[in-house]
Chain A
Amino acid sequence: MTASSASPPPSAATDTSANDNIQPFYLLHKASSSKNSSRKSAAARRIDLTPSKPSNNSQFDSHKAFHSVWSKIDSSIKGVLRDVNNNVFNEIHTWVRQSFLEITSSGLPSFAEATRSLPILNHATSKQLFTGLVLIKNMEFVDDLLTFEELGVCLKSHGCHVANLSSRDFSTKNGVGGCLRSLLRQFLMVALDAADISILASWYREHGNHDSPVVIIIDDMERCSRSVLSDFILMLSEWVVKIPIILIMGITTLDAPRIVLPSHVLQQLCPSKFILASPAERMNAVVEATLVRWCSGFSIGHKVAVFLRNYFLNHDGTLTSFIRALKIACVQHFSMEPLSSNLGLLAEEDSNDEGEGPDFSSGMVAQIESNLACGLTELKRSQKCWGTVVMCLYEAGKYNKVHLLDLLCEALDPNIYNAVASGTHTRSGKGFDITSSSNQSVAQQYWRKGGPISQVIQKVRDLPAASLSQLLKSWENLTMDILEIHDKVKELHPMIKMEDGMSLKQDFTGLSKRHTSRTAAYIKESKTGNEKAANLITSMISKFMKPIECIPFHEVVCFKDVEKLQLALNGDPRRRIQVDLLEFHKFLQCKCCNRTGNVPIPSMPDTSIMYTLAQEHGDLISLHDWYQCFKSVVTNPSIKVKHKGKQQSPLRKKRKETNENENKSESSIQARFCKAVTEMQITGLIRMPTKRRPDCVQRVAFGL
């Protein structure tokens, strides 16, 4: 009670200067520690009263921890994406070099000629502009903005002059001048009002720049203004002899240039095609780097993983949104979990000491309690095993085009693991035994039928010998760090190899009569190889693939609150604002409106009454009828009183008040009606009357 009287309500505190409300913009306060202004001192006083404020120190730690963890995740994402793009970048670079040679092969114009403000027109072929069409495998450009930026950096590092343009530079409003200005900004580092391409030509000649090609990258060509892009290309093609310009454009379909550009512009282009990696490919690489390999120590729970997968598949299929979701998950974790700052230490510890030793340095032990440290050590070891098994599964799943994210969701499910683990324990004891098939049959029944893990195991069973041997080889490499698994794989590998050799021999000798020459015994033999491999992976799963949520202390590193993530990631204003109006009682928790049905009562907020009434109309609401309904609700509480017996007195009191001010009430009801309509207009729930229908408003939002 004292706190509430000492701290003024926010509305009173900030509404002091009405003048500020009608300023388009103003400075509320400057960043300074001095507390001389009255507003600030009030603010400072309020800080002290903020309930249960965590100490600054702990917040700083979790903040630092977040940065150290996220920078690790971020750099590993950038790293894998760079690897994914590496091949196509190299291809583009080679092509740029070749095109440059071709342009310059006809000889460069003299300095004077080149800097003259008129273009040179020798013959038609010299006007051809080498154009790289980079096909992105997604309808959305947003994933590839970074790719094109990286491409620019990559080409720059190889000595090219590079400028990145985007559709924003190709607006009809600014015309070609806009693109030129942007080019000059990037090449000459100056901002000129009178942009002219001859400036670029003289820059290219003057500063010893002329040994390298000039590359212009347009990342989302299809969104550019067509006329501006056409003019730009025509202009470049006229100058291409003086400035060896090479154009690179991002497109979503191969038809794009034909659709966007008129034929006389198309003739100026000499296109080459390059294809970027698909979103699924990149997704696999990113998931591997961030969630499967223990890169930062941060991990997510099963439900969050399922949510992220659905978000990726249903929302927009862009990697960018996935990464953003992951980042929000990470930041939520650090802001909610008090022990999470240890994760930062763990991550740092990890980078200092890349080796095997799971024990922490004395510094760390001093900072966190020793049993927590032990728990985390165990957790880390267990996660490493888990990641290894998931990678083995993924390696096998590649033969069946299984996506890592799907696999991950199943591998993180604690229910499946618990069921499998208890089943195998009761039937065959604790042994890690690859020959026993009972393990596997028990386990089988728990995995979702047709789910990624059972698919993978089935695939292992069906793999041809050569692929199986390859698979085992990759398993051998993956399990290098975990001796227990590594030995089993090594044990199995020679057996398969032998069979493999046999099969090869068989294949060579009996190519023509392949089918008939295979004896039943051979088939059986090779099948046992597959069976063994399948058993191996099954027992690896049940022994080592312990989801993080089954390990003690996982709360420190694992984010599980899927609801928080969803709320922060993507608000749903259309639905929520309407729910707010209908269920205002949940938030306000007042005693007067404790209603049961959908009947509007006068004590409700006016806008809620109006919204409820609007539900009864079609897409057009007659203002007259709406007003009459509103009026009858707010003035006539008696008919609703029977709904709630105990609330009679306040309502009666209210009615009495209304009666007293009868003469005033009409104008005040009309004013309240107007205000409520305005509020609904601000929230976009209705559209105002048009000239055609001056007596009706239009409902815009239908249902939740």
Chain B
Amino acid sequence: MDVNEVDDDEFGFSRNYFLAKEFKGSTKKSNHKLSDIDLVEEQELRTAAANIEPKHEKEVEELVRSYRTLYQRWVFKLRCGFNLLMYGFGSKKALIEDFASTSLTEHSVFVINGYLQSINIKQVLIALAEVLWDQLKAKRKNYSGNSSRGGQQPFNSRSIDDLLEFLDEPQVEEKESFICIIIHNIDGPGLRDSETQQILARLASCSSIRVVSSIDHVNTPLLWDKKMVHTQFNWCWYHVPTFAPYKVEGMFFPLILANGNTGQSAKTAALVLQSLTPNAQSVFRVLAEYQLSHPDEEGMPVDNLYATCRERFLASSQVTLNSHLTEFKDHELVKTRRHSDGQDCLYIPLTAEALEKLLLEIN
């Protein structure tokens, strides 16, 4: 808060950064490879991951429960027109949903799971508009019954602008009526791109919408510019670490020890190769043999490969060879890189031993 304090922080940050950079240079680089660990089979790893014994379960529960005293304040902030942003270490999914189902019963609550890989934001808007429309219809019936939007366009044929406009229409009858949107991980992979964030910002500023959202990434604020932060999202921040495991949020992340394993990729390569034509397999073998016999070269020049394949009657033209190569590249069996003399070279991104094993397998 103090000017000096801020400066100190900044200084500390930059110092740490450079220390870390230096550290890398000064210490001996670790020669150990990931493959030196005796890795267990992926299936076993997944089973073990699903059965991890949680630590501090009781304390976490107690901590999450302690936030219940804040619920009334959160409702108050929402009613005053603010949106809530929850951050802090630990999954906040359960906390926010508990808040919504205990304290926001008077309002419709809509959930967006931002931690999923892809979310169609337009579908979200359409669904929201339908919720609001139902709500308005129910209210109108209660009051007078004059539905002014009898001949309206169905929501799924409207544009995003129209939908947002509909959600932003002032509701004269009841100021207090709003739909609360819970966005788990507004910084999640499905929502992270700037266009979606712009739409979410506009959504958050709509008069009949309030947002309760969670973030986990330390650099999330970089997604937003000043207009979004100050005039649209209008966040009220809450630091609510829960230390609950990121069970659902981490569902789609690959386990780091499950891939990058040479045995694993040689196995998948073999599977792919077995599904290809014998000719294609032979082309691959040419390339593999070349790579094994020239371990120091950057790869096999394309012309070279073509010449060899022609000699062995594996490819009659450049076109057929290219079709094989495209297939290999699509499955990441083969990659290209630029040779030092400027020529494009082909290589197989596997170690020599893995390659040998692979050749044995396709024979």
Chain B residue at minimal CB-CB distance from A325: B230
A273 located at the interface, meaning its Cβ lies under 8 Å from any Cβ of chain B in the complex: no
CB–CB A10/B98 < 8 A: yes
| A10-B94 CB under 8 A given contacts A320-B226, A567-B239, A587-B63 | yes
Partner of A63, one of B80, B109, B120: B80
* Cα(A618)–Cα(B23), bound, Å: 5
| A618-B20 CB under 8 A given contacts A331-B80, A578-B218, A584-B89 | yes
* Cα(A155)–Cα(B44), bound, Å: 70
Chain A, residues 50-63, CB within 8 Å of chain B (1/0): the string is 11111000010011
CB–CB B20/A702 < 8 A: yes
Which of the 9-residue segments A28-36, A85-93, A198-206 touches chain B? A28-36
CB–CB B218/A618 < 8 A: no
CB–CB B256/A682 < 8 A: no
* Cα(A220)–Cα(B279), bound, Å: 60
CB–CB A587/B241 < 8 A: yes
CB–CB A25/B124 < 8 A: yes
CB–CB A703/B85 < 8 A: no
* Cα(A568)–Cα(B134), bound, Å: 34
* Cα(A450)–Cα(B350), bound, Å: 71
A625 located at the interface, meaning its Cβ lies under 8 Å from any Cβ of chain B in the complex: yes
CB–CB B123/A185 < 8 A: no
Partner of A568, one of B6, B22, B88, B236: B236
Tell me the residues in window 39-72 of chain B with beta carbons closer than 8 Å to chain A beta carbons: 39-40, 44-49, 51-52, 55-56, 59-65, 68-69, 71-72
B303 located at the interface, meaning its Cβ lies under 8 Å from any Cβ of chain A in the complex: no
A310 located at the interface, meaning its Cβ lies under 8 Å from any Cβ of chain B in the complex: yes
> Which of A14, A51, A606, A682 gathers most chain B CB within 10 Å?
A682
CB–CB A15/B94 < 8 A: yes
* Cα(A617)–Cα(B16), bound, Å: 12
Q: Which residues of B contact A577 (CB under 8 A)?
A: 87-89, 216, 218, 241
Chain A, residues 560-574, CB within 8 Å of chain B (1/0): the string is 001000111111011
Q: Dominant SS at the A interface?
A: helix
* Cα(A625)–Cα(B107), bound, Å: 51
CB–CB A26/B111 < 8 A: yes
Q: Which residues of A contact B65 (CB under 8 A)?
A: 4, 7, 9-10
Q: Which residues of B contact A59 (CB under 8 A)?
A: 72, 75-76
CB–CB A679/B246 < 8 A: yes
CB–CB B253/A678 < 8 A: yes
CB–CB A63/B218 < 8 A: no
CB–CB B77/A576 < 8 A: no
Q: How far is the CB of B117 from chain A (nearest CB, A)?
A: 10
A667 located at the interface, meaning its Cβ lies under 8 Å from any Cβ of chain B in the complex: yes
* Cα(A688)–Cα(B253), bound, Å: 11
CB–CB A670/B89 < 8 A: no
CB–CB A23/B97 < 8 A: no
CB–CB A43/B89 < 8 A: no
Q: Which residues of A contact B103 (CB under 8 A)?
A: 47
* Cα(A603)–Cα(B218), bound, Å: 25
CB–CB B255/A674 < 8 A: yes
* Cα(A695)–Cα(B262), bound, Å: 12
Partner of A566, one of B1, B20, B87, B90: B1
| A331-B226 CB under 8 A given contacts A580-B88, A703-B12 | no
Q: How far is the CB of B217 from chain A (nearest CB, A)?
A: 4
B207 located at the interface, meaning its Cβ lies under 8 Å from any Cβ of chain A in the complex: no
Q: How far is the CB of B142 from chain A (nearest CB, A)?
A: 12
CB–CB A310/B3 < 8 A: yes
* Cα(A385)–Cα(B161), bound, Å: 51
Which of the 9-residue segments A139-147, A259-267, A519-527 touches chain B? A139-147
B328 located at the interface, meaning its Cβ lies under 8 Å from any Cβ of chain A in the complex: no
CB–CB A703/B52 < 8 A: no
Q: How far is the CB of B175 from chain A (nearest CB, A)?
A: 9
B298 located at the interface, meaning its Cβ lies under 8 Å from any Cβ of chain A in the complex: no
Which of the 9-residue segments B28-36, B144-152, B311-319, B353-361 touches chain A? B28-36
Chain B, residues 218-259, CB within 8 Å of chain A (1/0): the string is 111100001100110011111101011110111101011110
CB–CB B49/A674 < 8 A: yes
B282 located at the interface, meaning its Cβ lies under 8 Å from any Cβ of chain A in the complex: no
CB–CB B97/A10 < 8 A: yes
CB–CB A11/B219 < 8 A: no
Q: Which residues of A contact B19 (CB under 8 A)?
A: 702
Partner of B112, one of A24, A31, A314, A562: A24
CB–CB A682/B227 < 8 A: no
CB–CB B101/A29 < 8 A: yes
CB–CB B49/A43 < 8 A: no
B286 located at the interface, meaning its Cβ lies under 8 Å from any Cβ of chain A in the complex: no
A324 located at the interface, meaning its Cβ lies under 8 Å from any Cβ of chain B in the complex: yes
Q: How far is the CB of B11 from chain A (nearest CB, A)?
A: 10
CB–CB B21/A670 < 8 A: no
CB–CB B98/A13 < 8 A: yes
A168 located at the interface, meaning its Cβ lies under 8 Å from any Cβ of chain B in the complex: yes
A623 located at the interface, meaning its Cβ lies under 8 Å from any Cβ of chain B in the complex: yes
Chain A residue at minimal CB-CB distance from B58: A590
Q: Which residues of A contact B37 (CB under 8 A)?
A: 624, 627-628, 670
Query: Chain A, interface size: which category?
Result: 35 or more
* Cα(A604)–Cα(B59), bound, Å: 12
A372 located at the interface, meaning its Cβ lies under 8 Å from any Cβ of chain B in the complex: no
Tell me the residues in window 312-363 of chain B with beta carbons closer than 8 Å to chain A beta carbons: 349
Q: How far is the CB of A564 from chain B (nearest CB, A)?
A: 10
CB–CB A618/B244 < 8 A: no
Q: How far is the CB of B218 from chain A (nearest CB, A)?
A: 4
B169 located at the interface, meaning its Cβ lies under 8 Å from any Cβ of chain A in the complex: no
Partner of A11, one of B2, B94, B237: B94
Partner of B250, one of A310, A617, A679: A679
| A28-B109 CB under 8 A given contacts A43-B101, A307-B1, A677-B256 | yes
* Cα(A50)–Cα(B66), bound, Å: 10
* Cα(A7)–Cα(B71), bound, Å: 16
B100 located at the interface, meaning its Cβ lies under 8 Å from any Cβ of chain A in the complex: yes
CB–CB A666/B231 < 8 A: no
Chain B residue at minimal CB-CB distance from A166: B227
> Which of A10, A191, A606 gathers most chain B CB within 10 Å?
A10
Tell me the residues in window 126-146 of chain A with beta carbons closer than 8 Å to chain B beta carbons: 140-142, 145
* Cα(A607)–Cα(B88), bound, Å: 13
CB–CB B120/A24 < 8 A: yes
Q: How far is the CB of B255 from chain A (nearest CB, A)?
A: 4
Q: Which residues of A contact B220 (CB under 8 A)?
A: 573, 684
Partner of B116, one of A22, A336, A605, A607: A22
Chain A, residues 282-321, CB within 8 Å of chain B (1/0): the string is 0000000000000000000000000100100010101011
* Cα(A570)–Cα(B119), bound, Å: 28
CB–CB A667/B45 < 8 A: yes
* Cα(A689)–Cα(B258), bound, Å: 13
Q: How far is the CB of A648 from chain B (nearest CB, A)?
A: 18
A278 located at the interface, meaning its Cβ lies under 8 Å from any Cβ of chain B in the complex: no
CB–CB B1/A62 < 8 A: no
B289 located at the interface, meaning its Cβ lies under 8 Å from any Cβ of chain A in the complex: no
Partner of A590, one of B23, B59, B134: B59
* Cα(A587)–Cα(B242), bound, Å: 8
A328 located at the interface, meaning its Cβ lies under 8 Å from any Cβ of chain B in the complex: yes
CB–CB B24/A27 < 8 A: no
Chain A residue at minimal CB-CB distance from B112: A25
> Which of A13, A15, A50, A568 gathers most chain B CB within 10 Å?
A568
B177 located at the interface, meaning its Cβ lies under 8 Å from any Cβ of chain A in the complex: yes
The 10 A-B residue pairs with the shortest CB-CB distance in the complex, in nearest-first order: A703-B16, A618-B24, A571-B237, A10-B98, A618-B23, A671-B48, A624-B32, A580-B89, A684-B217, A622-B30
Q: What are 9 A-B contacts with C-beta separation under 8 Å?
A: A9-B65, A605-B56, A620-B24, A628-B37, A664-B48, A667-B44, A674-B49, A682-B246, A699-B20
Give B contacts to A, CB under 8 Å.
1-3, 6, 9, 12-13, 15-17, 19-25, 27, 29-30, 32-34, 36-40, 44-49, 51-52, 55-56, 59-65, 68-69, 71-73, 75-77, 79-80, 82, 85, 87-90, 93-95, 97-98, 100-103, 105-113, 116, 118-120, 123-124, 127, 131, 134-135, 159, 161-162, 177, 179, 182, 190, 198, 215-221, 226-227, 230-231, 234-239, 241, 243-246, 248-251, 253, 255-258, 260, 349
